[in-house]
């Protein structure tokens, strides 16, 4: 080796040793952060996180996040402690979604602090690990974000934008609502992949909405429903008449896929009606969106918020 080459090698070795020395956090060989990510968050702690979404994600080897409003734990239609624990043990991330789900921007700072601190403490008291926050109604401002920094690694809002790896505002993470046609959600995925950014989608209770007619009797909230001849099953939420449109029913999907012309029968009430049209089926849309990601973009990663932060920060 010539004198010049020996000198270059010595300088290179010294630089590497200095950068990798004790106490240094600099990564001389940095991780490539330009990887497209998708995160699914289910707000409010509805029981459909466990009864519907969990099976969909399990089937694909994926995980999601459940954002919990602690006052609603163990109440009708919401997750219980056992379900929360099982979700986290299966790799789901549990987020705080405050104590009582207020618009934080309407509260004085001391009440904001109570909502953010107490919700985290309650969840941790149940044996859960909680690192991140989802703001109710996506509402936040500078003061709220400063309080959040005391207790959380990051906070998720809305804004209908993607998160770039190079300029990540971790206490105002951008997200899109999933309450849109599947084609629009697929468009968000396409954009995140092409721009190598992080797409966060937030959901609520997973429902099916059906236009119905010929109703007899009154359905009971929470009762099981049968659909014939499709063989689908669901759980009744509510129904109402919309002027100029007709009657619609909201239900939680349990199994199968409701179809037009099904006869829907309440197993406790005996009430019945006819399905004229399925306006939307969020379970079906969620399943198809995950399959779209895996099929079209197999190298796109579905991650929790905390894992996304590990990659992008």
pLDDT in tens, 176-225: 999 999 999 999 999 999 999 999 999 999 999 999 999 999 999 999 99
Encoded tokens for 161: 């934008």
Matching CATH number, 37-205+285-312, of 3.90.1170.50, 3.40.50.720, 3.20.20.60, 3.20.20.370 = 3.20.20.370
For the chain, give every residue range classified as CATH 3.20.20.370: 37-205+285-312
Q: Which residue has the tokens 């209770």?
A: 205
Q: What is the DSSP letter of 100?
A: S
How far is the C-alpha of 43 from the C-alpha of 67, rounded, in Å?
5
Q: Is the model's pLDDT at 92 over the cut of 70?
A: yes
pLDDT at 32: 61
Please answer whether residues 62 and 37 qualify as being in contact, where contact means their C-beta atoms are separated by less than 8 angstroms.
Answer: no
Contacts of 80 (CB under 8 A, 6+ apart): 47, 73, 74
| Beta carbons of 261 and 274 less than 8 angstroms apart | yes
- 98-125: pLDDT as tens digits: 999 999 999 999 999 999 999 999 999 9
How much is the pTM? Answer: 0.88
List own/partner pairs for 150-159 with CB under 8 A and 24 or more apart.
150/113, 150/116, 150/117, 151/96, 151/116, 151/117, 151/120, 152/96, 152/116, 152/120, 153/306, 153/309, 154/305, 154/309, 156/41, 156/67, 156/95, 156/132, 156/200, 156/202, 156/305, 158/202
Residues for the chain: how many in total? Answer: 313
Contact 234, 250 (CB under 8 A): no
pLDDT band at 86 (very low <50, low <70, confident <90, very high): very high
Give per-residue pLDDT as tens, 268-280.
999 999 999 999 9
Q: What is the pLDDT of residue 6?
A: 53
- Judge whether residue 149 has pLDDT over 70: yes
Location of structure tokens 């707000």: 43
Res. 293: pLDDT tops 60 = yes
Q: What is the pLDDT of residues 4-51, one digit of tens each?
A: 555 544 444 444 444 444 333 333 334 467 799 999 999 999 999 999
């Amino acid at each position: 080796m010539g004198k010049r080459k020996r000198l270059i090698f010595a300088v290179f070795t010294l630089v590497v040793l200095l950068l990798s020395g004790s106490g240094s956090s600099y990564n001389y060989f940095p991780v490539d952060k330009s990887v497209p990510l998708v995160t699914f968050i289910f707000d409010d702690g509805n029981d459909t996180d466990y009864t519907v979404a969990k099976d969909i994600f399990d089937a694909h080897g994926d995980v999601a996040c459940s954002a919990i409003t602690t006052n609603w734990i163990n109440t009708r239609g919401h997750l219980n402690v056992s379900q929360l624990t099982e979700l986290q043990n299966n790799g789901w991330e549990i987020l705080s979604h405050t104590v009582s789900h207020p618009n934080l921007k309407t509260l004085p700072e001391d009440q904001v602090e109570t909502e953010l601190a107490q919700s985290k403490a309650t969840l941790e008291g149940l044996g859960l690990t909680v690192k991140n926050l989802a703001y109710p109604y996506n509402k936040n401002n500078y003061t709220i974000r400063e309080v959040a920094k005391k207790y959380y690694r990051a906070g998720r809002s809305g804004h209908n934008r993607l998160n770039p790896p190079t300029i990540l505002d971790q206490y105002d993470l951008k997200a899109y609502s999933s309450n849109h046609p599947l084609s629009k959600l697929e468009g968000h995925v396409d954009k995140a992949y092409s721009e190598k950014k992080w797409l966060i989608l937030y959901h609520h209770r997973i429902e099916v909405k059906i236009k119905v007619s010929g109703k007899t009797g009154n359905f009971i909230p929470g009762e099981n429903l049968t659909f014939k001849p499709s063989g689908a099953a669901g759980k009744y939420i509510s129904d109402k008449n919309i002027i100029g449109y007709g009657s619609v029913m909201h239900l939680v999907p349990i199994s199968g896929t409701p179809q037009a012309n099904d006869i829907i029968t309440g197993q406790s009430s005996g009430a019945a009606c006819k399905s004229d049209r399925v306006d939307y089926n969020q379970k079906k849309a969620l399943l198809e969106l995950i399959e779209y990601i895996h099929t079209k973009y197999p190298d796109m990663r579905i991650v929790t918020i905390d894992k996304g932060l590990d990659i992008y920060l």
